[in-house]
Amino acid sequence: MKKIAIISCKMIRTQNLCPGDVQCLVALNRKEGEFERYKDEGAQLLGIIDCAGCEGNKSRVIPAMGLLKMQLAAFNENLDAIHVGTCIMKFCPRRDDLLTAIKEKAGIEVIEGTHTYAPLTIFGK
């Protein structure tokens, strides 16, 4: 069983454009999208954190990861992998900087993406 966390876009989460993290959670439960890799072994979601926002330095995601690590350590837990949310992968203008910073510091596998449910068009069929 892999222990995982998700890093999401703060703007999308706090402006309620992703209510309930539903797409990521459904994909994880169904083992679809980037969670398909856990079909056999299984995965436990131990946390969802955000990138810490557009303002200021891109490295604010690093202290956010550090705080998650501290919280997990209090319960003798740690992560095997971090997923960078589809919200960041698709929409963040700082995506490459964020990915570089996350990969430099994570020390565990970093997987680009979560669900694949985003529609190709809004009104098209």
Closer residue to ligand SF4 in complex, CB, 9/43 = 9
Q: Does 88 bind ligand SF4 (CB under 6 A)?
A: yes
Closer residue to ligand SF4 in complex, CB, 43/86 = 86
Q: Does 64 bind ligand SF4 (CB under 6 A)?
A: no
Closer residue to ligand SF4 in complex, CB, 49/92 = 92
Q: Does 94 bind ligand SF4 (CB under 6 A)?
A: yes
CB contact at 8 A, 116 and 27: yes
Q: Does 65 bind ligand SF4 (CB under 6 A)?
A: no
Q: How far is the CB of 109 from ligand SF4 (least distance, A)?
A: 20
With 0-12 / 13-18 / 19 or more C-beta atoms within 10 angstroms meaning exposed / middle / buried, residue 72 is middle
Closer residue to ligand SF4 in complex, CB, 4/89 = 89
Q: Which amino acid is at 2?
A: K
Packed helices 61-73 and 95-106: angle between N→C axes, nearest 10 degrees: 40
Q: What tokens does 46 get?
A: 């131990």
The number of beta carbons lying within 10 Å of the beta carbon of residue 55 is 7
The residues, any chain, with a CB within 8 Å of residue 77's CB and separated by 6 or more, are: 3, 46
Binding site for ligand SF4 (CB under 6 A): 9-11, 51, 53-54, 88, 92, 94
